[in-house]
Structure 1
Amino acid sequence: MYELQVEGMTCGGCANSVTRSVRAVDSNAKVDVDLKAKKVRIDTSVPLEKVSSAIADAGYPVVASATL
């Protein structure tokens, strides 16, 4: 499981975009977006770099990450 600090998320549409970008690399990923804290928790077996890259490619910079 990863916890990412993601900038640029301001609304439910942003949360949906981030979720879709993660699920594009792992359709079974569990994604929990906390807009207020700008954090995204992801339960996936895909490497962190691939998940972070997918989110960044969707237009949301990943500024910090941790493996939980």
Structure 2
Amino acid sequence: MEKTLNVQGMSCGHCKMSVEGALNNLDGVSTAEVNLEAGKVDVTFDESKVNVDTMKEAVEEQGYDVNT
């Protein structure tokens, strides 16, 4: 399953690494790719292992706001 998250507050390479790292650490997430210019994160995941709310929490724990 693929989902695009709208993430506010990402502005640099460190932001990109923080968000991608937080998502990739979740069981069930196979890829997370940040587009800084668009403020979006494309996530490919196994919906039997992880859901959007869990991914949203992981990103928010890094200090960013998620609008789904």
Q: TM-score range by the shorter chain?
A: 0.7 to 0.9
How far does residue 26 in structure 1 lie from its aligned partner after superposition?
2.7
State TM-score, norm by structure 2.
Answer: 0.85
Partner of 1:61: 65
User: 1:10 aligns to what?
Assistant: 11
Identity percentage over the alignment?
Answer: 31
Paired residues, what number?
Answer: 64
**Aligned-residue CA RMSD (Å):** 1.3
> Runs (4+) of structure 1 moved beyond 6 Å?
none
Counting only pairs closer than 5 Å after superposition, residues 9-48 of structure 1 correspond to structure 2 as 9-26=10-27, 28-45=29-46, 46-48=50-52
Structure 2: stretches of 5+ with no match in the other structure: none
Structure number with the bigger relative contact order (C-alpha 8 A, sep ≥ 6) is 1
State the AA in 1 paired with 2:53: E
